[in-house]
Amino acid sequence: MSGNKDNNKKSEPVVVRLDEDARNEARSILFHAYLHEPTFQYLFDHRRAGYEQRVRATIRELVDLYIDLNQESVGVMVDDTLVAVAFIGEPELRLNLADQISWRIRMVLTAGFASTRRYLDYHEKIKQLLPQPLAHQLPLMGVNPKYQNLGYGRLLLSTVERLCAENPRGSGLVLDTGNSRYLPFYESEGFRSLGRIRLGDFEDHVLFREVTPAESKAAPG
């Protein structure tokens, strides 16, 4: 009887910092998380052939860029499976993608000139909405579709907020979403609107949450 209970027991998620070995798993999670998102569908033209390849290339180049810039990244493990990841841009980074020449060249070669130009324009519009003093940014966050609606996204976001609270140089956390169905979730986490970016026939929402040092707790190991 006790054996059956153990077998049916739900595994507890564990929050971890990501290292180099998690690069490919992180790319896969983010690819599937963003593939059907309206923002990516607009920026990388899902009506045109090769859309999946453009998304895959963009995710790869963004993950590599943030890792190369030594930015914080965290994930959620269930058993031995990485099920959710997030990459955090430090307030001091003030990243201007147009100045990242090698990144831009790789993007043009893999995602195409038009998609790269659209993404750069979109990134610049987000920068124009950032609060002062500058906040952390959450450019990439995703949950493996097989593990969605199980609370792992909320766990991941609370971990990101905790890490941001440990850096007093940031005023809070900025993220964006083009999927309006996520807005109630972010609003329940204390995010408010900084503005909207028009992308075709819909709007991308740029959101901000103040994070104070008082919210700081132990960081993941």
Q: What is the pLDDT of residues 7-28, one digit of tens each?
A: 445 689 999 999 888 999 999 9
Q: Where are the domains of the chain?
A: 13-215
What's the mean pLDDT in 20-37? 94
Sheet holding 81-89, edge to edge: 14-17, 73-78, 81-89, 136-143, 172-177, 202-210, 192-199
146 vs 160, 182, 209, CA distance in Å?
22, 18, 28
Computed over every residue of the chain, the mean pLDDT equals 88
Question: Which is it for strands 81-89 and 192-199: parallel, antiparallel or unpaired?
Answer: unpaired
Global confidence as pTM? 0.87
Instruction: Give the lowest-confidence range in 67-71, 112-116, 129-133.
Output: 129-133
Q: What is the predicted pLDDT for the residue at 97?
A: 80
Residue 45 pLDDT > 90: yes
Give 208's pLDDT tier (boundaries 50, 70, 90). Answer: very high
Question: 13-215: which CATH number, 3.40.50.300, 3.40.630.30, 3.40.50.720, 3.20.20.220?
Answer: 3.40.630.30
Q: What is the predicted pLDDT for the residue at 9?
A: 55
Q: What is the predicted pLDDT for the residue at 42?
A: 95
What's the mean pLDDT in 196-217? 83
What's the mean pLDDT in 145-160? 93
Give 92's pLDDT tier (boundaries 50, 70, 90). Answer: confident
What's the mean pLDDT in 134-155? 92
Q: What is the predicted pLDDT for the residue at 214?
A: 54
Q: What is the predicted pLDDT for the residue at 219?
A: 47
**Which one, of 157, 20, 10, 11, lies nearest residue 85 by Cα?**
157
What's the mean pLDDT in 99-112? 88
What's the mean pLDDT in 124-141? 90
Report CA Rg, the chain. 18
- H/E stretch holding 141 reads strand 136-143
Q: What is the predicted pLDDT for the residue at 96?
A: 76
Q: What is the predicted pLDDT for the residue at 3?
A: 41
Residue 189 three-state SS: coil
What's the mean pLDDT in 203-215? 83
Question: Which is it for strands 192-199 and 202-210: parallel, antiparallel or unpaired?
Answer: antiparallel
Q: What is the predicted pLDDT for the residue at 10?
A: 66
